[in-house]
Amino acid sequence: MQLISQWSIDRYIRSCASRASLNVVWRDGQVPQCDGKTVYLPSIKLMTTDAEVNEIIHSATHEVGHVLHTDFNVLKGKKFDPESAFFFILNLIEDHRVNYLNAEAYEGDKSNDDEYYGRECPKTIAKVVDKGALELAQLLSWEASIHGDYAPTLGATKFKVLHPDTNDKLAKYSSVLRNIRTIEDPTLGTQASYDLAVQIAKDVFGEEPPPDEGGGDKEDEESEGDEGEGAPEGTESGDEDGEEDGEGEGGGSKGDKGEDGDGDDEVKAGKPIIVKYEELSKSDDSKKFSGTPVKIDYSTTKVGSEMTTIQRPVVSLR
pTM (two decimals): 0.69
- Which residue in 313, 307, 77, 89 sits closest to 194, CA to CA? 89
Task: State the Cα–Cα distance between residues 178 and 97, nearest whole angstrom.
Answer: 9
**Predicted pLDDT of residue 257:** 39
**Predicted pLDDT of residue 12:** 92
Instruction: Parse the chain into domains and list their residue ranges.
Output: 3-53, 75-315
**Predicted pLDDT of residue 265:** 44
- Quick count: other Cβ atoms within 10 Å of Cβ 118? 19
**Predicted pLDDT of residue 277:** 53
Q: Which residue type sits at 297? A: D
**Predicted pLDDT of residue 4:** 52
Q: Which helix (H) or strand (E) holds 307?
A: strand 306-307
**Per-residue confidence in pLDDT tens, the chain, 318 aa:** 555 588 889 999 999 999 999 999 999 999 999 999 999 999 998 889 999 999 999 999 999 999 999 999 999 888 889 889 999 999 999 999 999 999 999 999 999 999 999 999 999 999 999 999 999 999 999 999 999 999 999 999 999 899 999 999 999 999 999 999 999 999 999 999 999 999 999 999 999 988 887 544 444 444 444 433 333 333 333 333 433 343 333 333 333 434 444 444 444 445 556 666 556 555 554 455 555 555 555 545 443 333 333 333 333 333
**Predicted pLDDT of residue 287:** 53
Task: Determine the distance from the C-alpha atom of residue 315 to the mean position of all C-alpha atoms in its chain, rounded to a whole number.
Answer: 16
